[in-house]
Amino acid sequence: MVITTARLIGTLVLTLGVVAFGEFVLDGPRVFEDAAQLVTGLAAAGLCLAAARRRTGVQRTWRLIAVGGLTLWSANRLWRVALDLADPARDIHHRVLDVGVLVLPACMLAGLLGAAGTRPRPVPTSLRRDQIALIIDSVLITGSVLALTWSVIPERLLGRIADWGSFAGWAIAYPVADLVLLTMVVLLLTTRPDSPAGRRPLRLIGAALVAFGTADAVRLTGAEPGWLQTAGYLLGPMFIALAALSPARPMPPPPDPAPQHRRDWFPLLMPYGPVLVSGIVLGVRTLAGHPPTSFQAYLGWLGLGLVVTRQMITILDNTALIRRVVETQRRLHHQAYHDPLTGLANRALFRERLVLALDAKQPVAVLFADLDDFKLINDTYGHAMGDRVLLAIGERLRSGVRPQDLVARLGGDEFAVVLDQTPAPVVPAPRRRPAFRPRRYVLSAAGIRISADAPLAPLRRRTDVPVPAPTPAPTPVSAAPSVAAAPPAVSGADLPAVLWEEEAETIGQRVLAALREPYLIDGRSVSVGVSIGLVAAEPDDGLSADLLLRRADAAMYAVKRRGKGALIRFTGPVHGPNADLPQLLAGALTGGSPAASGFEVYYQPIVRLTDQATVAVEALARWTDPVAGPVHPDVFVTMAERTGLVAAIDDFVLDQACADAHELERRFGRPIAVHVNVSAGRLGQDGLEAAVAAALARHSLPPSRLVVEITETLRISDMPRAAVVVARLREWGVRVALDDFGSGYNALAQLHGMPVDTVKLDSTLTDVDTAPERAGALCRSVLAICADLGITVVAEGIETTDRAAALAGLGCPLGQGYLFGPPVPLAKLTP
């Protein structure tokens, strides 16, 4: 800014010095004036060219255009110098060659139109229409000013203009062009907000136009003092050069929306202000007996045509703006209700559709699908491949359901489907059953039960309740989904509840079969497992959308605990359709004492395999809700982990087990250790150590009598911190055990990273009686590793004497299972 101001002052001083020298010293010879203008024009063109080389884009373009205009303007001055030398007494008015001077205003017009595209516009519109509107507004304002000016020009000035004869039109074109361009500059400065650095070149261009306009007006009218003409022709090129030398414009900050809205009317009304003023003035003069001249009449018709044209452009702009607003609203609506990656519905649209389906008083079902171990795909192949897999999963979901069903991505790797009875515009076709029928599970308040067409099998551990384990899903062999067509549309108005539930489960099995098949992406076959929870509701159930989603979520996580890759249907509590297990669980664990809400502790013995003497017991939580009745442990533990309430269950069992330890010692006649389950997720959180210390102190229990079992339901997110917590517990004398070792997240890596005292082998590693070679080799290996590390081993899931004998023969010291007793209340536990 300081450099530009210094240049401006220096330019003014130099110009005044040249003019004064020519007027007073040389007595104003015409050749001196023309030569000075020639030198100034060439110097300005050179400076503009030098500045253009350091710029790019529009900033370079308008400077090159200025170079061309100034060069032609200087060429006209060179011709005038030649004429001055050849004929000093020639007539200065009648020269056809002076028409070439209009090239400079044309070049300045092109430069201003180019600059208009780089400045913020008051209303978003087409650049071409905006440039046309800018020209029309400038001509409209200029015509109004000319109409007013023509009314006040003295007769002697009109006579001097008439002296130009046939060249009068061209002579008038000079100042008119200057006035149009100056008006355009004023419009750009007043209606296009920009940074100070962006306004500075435009202001200098405006100053150049003022200088040129003054010189052209003096030349046209012959007004005094005459030196203004010379000064104007010298200052004009210099101001253009200063504009070209202005510093580069930084990116303008975003305009404040509030002031911009308050000034929206200004650029729209500004062109019509001068028109209104000139119309009023000319009307008053006409009433006073001074009718408009033919020139003013022509200007009036021109103004009318420009106003009509301007309004047409405004209508086009408004139409385009309305179309853009509609498109923006549609796009924003789509973004608000759809997932940006897959294009599926998001959680908001899913809930809205589910609410509408429930309000329609027709049967509705919800499928909740969660991908199994999807993080491994991102870690192995990268997130880009993971996104492509999610896209493929979304396509398979859409192709696996009916046209009227809504598929949504709730976030991450969670998907959901709303199955309702909206009629679909498809031709009805016979309903098809899946080619295979995998084992089905039903989740209820009484627990997870298997359908009648599947055999029973013993349950793996957390609570040792004998319920079946799912059969592994068949391995897919093709890369394309097995279901290519959507199921037929079924009218739900006449569909019985049982048939609707079967139909919903059929759709769920079809989706499960399609999603389990490999995905061929970039020549790679990627397999993704999926766990699906299904919940169906009737119109009379009175269930809310949130409740349906929670039940489907609970069913899906029950699949996770049962081995993943299956479908479980939530049938609802057996003691009433309105019982909400998640809400009842939250009330039982946060509303007061869990024992008062139906929670109690069962104990299962842990025995020495050599003589089957009880050496410890495992404390297990049980819940019988007053409303829903007995709730399966897998169900309420899963819900508690999902809702962050598992710590309340762990602390309740810990406190009750420490309290019952003295009764256990009295009943068995010797100290009995108590095993208490603790979720692995708590090792990375605060509160576990304080809860253990408080329970031991409250019941005066020696720390050596307590064994904290780390369950395998959740991954230990912060292994170093977990190791610190475990080490601190062991320093107190509390023993630590890894539960269900060999399944879930518990593996050999945890034995290396975390010091423990006991390992409880999962039942998948203890079936040495049925698979003696393979299972025996695995069991011997784990026993050898634990023996070298000084870790005690407990074998879980012992149901037969043969298995107990086989494990004892392999050197396993301790065992647990239904052979030695099921979990029972303390009162029923016998030595």
- Residues labelled catalytic: 796
Is 167 in contact with 94 (CB distance < 8 Å)? yes
The DSSP secondary structure of 374-409, one letter per residue, reads THHHHHHH-HHHHHHHHHHHHHHHHHHS-TTSEEEE
For residue 132, the tally of other CB atoms under 10 A from its CB is 15
Return the half-sphere exposure (C-beta side, CA atoms, 13 A cut-off) of residue 24.
6
- Quote the CA–CA distance of 339 and 411 in Å, as a whole number: 8
Local structure of 677: helix, strand or coil: strand
Separation of alpha carbons 373 and 526, rounded Å: 13
End-to-end CA distance of the chain: 96
Q: Find out whether 796 and 807 touch, Cβ atoms under 8 Å.
A: no
Torsion on CA atoms 786, 791, 797, 803, rounded to nearest 10: 60
Taking alpha carbons only, the member of 664, 667, 791 closest to residue 726 is: 791
Give the ranges where 290-374 is alpha helix by DSSP (H). Answer: 294-337, 347-359
816: nearest Cα among 562, 651, 619: 619
R_g over Cα of the chain: 45
3-state class of 458 per DSSP?
coil
What residues pair up with 661 in beta bridges, in sequence order? Answer: none
CA atoms within 13 A on the CB side of 266: 15
Q: Please give the Cα distance from 482 to 460 (Å, whole number).
A: 32
- Quote the CA–CA distance of 123 and 129 in Å, as a whole number: 11
Measured between alpha carbons, how far is 375 from 711 in angstroms, rounded to an integer? 21
- Structure-token pair, residue 759: 């390992």
Inter-residue contact 609 to 481 (CB < 8 Å): no
Tell me if 807 sits within 8 A of 598, measured CB to CB. no
Retrieve residue 150's tokens. 């023509």
Q: How do the residues of the chain divide into helix, strand and coil, expressed in percent and rounded to 5?
A: 55, 15, 30
Strands 613-625 and 599-608, by their bridges, are: antiparallel
Residues whose CB is less than 8 angstroms from the CB of residue 290 and which lie 6 or more positions away in sequence, other chains included: 151
Give the sign of the dihedral formed by CA 283, CA 284, CA 289, CA 293. Answer: negative
Residue (of 457, 465, 437, 402) closest to 623 by Cα position: 465
